Each structure stands twice: as C-alpha cells, then as structure tokens.
Structure 1
C-alpha cells in the first residue's frame, strides 16, 4: 500500500475557497497512491474558532439517506474519484441537522463514494474553543479498505490510549490521525504517535497541518510509524507531501512475533471474550 500524507499550510491570508481548490488539486496529483490523508480542519484552521460557524457544512451519511453534500465534501469526493484513491479528507466543521457543530473526519473511496465519518470524541480547549463550541462524538469508527482496516481518530484523541485499544479490538491495523497540533507541544506529538503504534502494534499515519493561524504555529512533522514503533518518514515544518510504501502484512507478523496483546489482564474486555 502506498500512502501519501498532505501536510497542508493553513494560512488565513488564503481564503477557504482558494485553499479548498488548491488541496483538491494536490489530492488529484497523488494518483500513484492508494491512500491519501489530509490534516484536521485544514479548510479553516483548527484554532480559528471564529470561522467555525461560518464554514460549517452538512456531512453525508452512509445509511442511504439523502443529504446534500457540503462544498468541502463535494470537492474531496470529486478529487478522490479523479485520482482513484482512498481519501481520508482530514476533518471539517460539520453542522448537524439540529445545528450542533462537530469536528468530523470523512473517508471517500476511489470512485468518489462517501464511506464513513468520524466525529472527534475528545474535544480540545479546557472549557473554551472547540471544547464548548462542538459536540462530542460517541462512536468507534473503522473502515475496511483493500488489504487492511483503518481506525479513525483526530488530534487530541492521541492523548487517550483507550480509544486506540478499542480501535485495535475492532480490527484496526492502520491508525489514521489528522491533526492541527501546536508547535510548542511537538515533542508530545512525536512521542504519542510512536506510543500508539507500539502499544497497538499497528501503523500510525499522523498528518498535521503546517503554517500559523489564529496566532498558533502548527507543529508540522507529520509521521508514518510502523507497528514496531520505527519512524518510516517524518515531515518538516512547511507544506509538503510525505509518501511511504506500507506492508499491510507487517502488522500480523509483528503481533505474531511479539504477542503482547494476548497477555493484557486489565482494561476493556475483548469483544470475543465472555465471562
């Protein structure tokens, strides 16, 4: 599997509309990839709270119910289809039918069809910003793609290992984490990305934005980590494309060679274990 992480420079001098068009073009340029990943809230900026309401949009559903595509969903679906790639389109500000805002990730298939959405469970802000403006998701989300299963999480979720263990228990072998992580906590970003890979014996694709918006410098340094915790690729601080060849069978080999997960005694029960 060939994966490309697009570390987008989120600059508020660029309009949301212009950035949407530019990012769609970047996705189309990745036609040699199998999976493309974008950062968190790249269309507005993860800390641009003042823009959330103005740029909130509906999100399609996977249950067959008709729903209008918002402009970002529409652009990303078309780009995925043109490039013939699986696209994790990062996250956008979703406006639910009842008016609640969510930080919602979207996954599209190579035909442009919408597959799944994930509403961020752990909201950042400590009683301000995202933590008070947005609703919290409550669903563990995985997506089956050829040769592997993707587990979905977003940015601040990275600090909560129980979410990733639940994703692993649900079959995830590749953990995708779009983020708008601040530069001042970059060491945490690298450390936690590697930790989630090691403890779950899974690939981690951690895609962060670059640039500065709302006065918050972004960490960049997107990462691809293998199931043993080795960093296969790491970005710098500017906009760039990080492309890596992954071996999906490495997950099974790592878990077989070092079967630590079967020795777990405390915590969440396995779905296939009964009292």
Structure 2
C-alpha cells in the first residue's frame, strides 16, 4: 500500500530500496499529495550499480515531479575493509533530487551528513512546466483496454 505522512505541512511518501525500480509507487505518492518521497536504501554493489542508482533516483523524482531524498547506506569499504558478507552493504551516494530530476545535493560513498533545502512550492512550478502527471495515458483515472 502507498504510505504517506505529513510533517510540518508537507506530505511525504515512503519507499524502500527495491521500490526505486517502480515509477508507479512514486506517482502514487504524488497522487496522494506528496511533495517529497523518502527512499532509504542498501543498494548492492557491483558493475554498473552506482550508475543504476543515480539514474533511477533522478528518474523517479522526474517521473512523479516530487523531491526525492535518496538515503543510501554508506559503503563500508569506504572507511575500511569490506565486511565478509553476501548481503548488500550499500554503496553510499545519498542524494537530494529536485522535482525536475536535478541532483541538488549529494554525498560520496562514505558516511556523511547531507543537509539540503526542500521547497515544496517548487513541485507546483515544475508540474506547471512538465505536466507528466496530468498527461498520463494510464493512471488512476484511466482504464487499460485489452484485446
């Protein structure tokens, strides 16, 4: 189910790691009134994984025209030897992405604190210029036609 909450008058949608691969959830956040989606993740390392992470977080912000706070678990190898585990340990690269898909703030692989300003009214302005939600062919009010 789609989960949102209000904080200081701003609706925030919640997602987790693997959810970033599904634009529908982030559009559902927007449909529920969210201005920001919060995405904590432990993104698995490997060839091309950082590029996937960066592409997907920017795309989800733009798909839904919401701010996206992508909180990536820091890469333990950035501060010492990598742990001996087959579980995803994170690659870092947390970012704050604007509703137009631009990265406004970012961290590298290691641990850190990311602080950025989020202007909820920028969502309204971007939605006026980039009306992807209003122009959807399939969505909450459309019906798929099967043959």
TM-score (norm 2): 0.83
CA separation in 2, counterparts of 1:253 and 1:221? 27
Report what 2:68 is aligned to.
Answer: 204
RMSD: 1.6
Provide, for residues 195-236 of structure 1, a one-character-per-residue CA deviation record: whole Å limited to 9, x for no partner.
001111110000011114424452100011001111011111
Pair 1:195-2:59 in alignment: yes
The runs of 5 or more residues in structure 2 that have no matched partner are 77-81, 143-147
Pair 1:146-2:146 in alignment: no
CA separation in 2, counterparts of 1:182 and 1:190? 13
The runs of 5 or more residues in structure 1 that have no matched partner are 1-138, 271-275
Aligned residue pairs: how many? 132
Provide, for residues 46-89 of structure 1, a one-character-per-residue CA deviation record: whole Å limited to 9, x for no partner.
xxxxxxxxxxxxxxxxxxxxxxxxxxxxxxxxxxxxxxxxxxxx
User: Residue 181 of structure 1: SS of its match in structure 2?
Assistant: coil
Q: Which has the higher strand share?
A: 1
Report what 2:79 is aligned to.
Answer: none
Pair 1:231-2:95 in alignment: no
Residue 259 (structure 1) aligned to one of 127, 131, 141? 131
CA separation in 1, counterparts of 2:61 and 2:2? 18
Which of 1 and 2 has greater Rg? 1
TM-score (norm 1): 0.46
CA separation in 1, counterparts of 2:106 and 2:32? 28
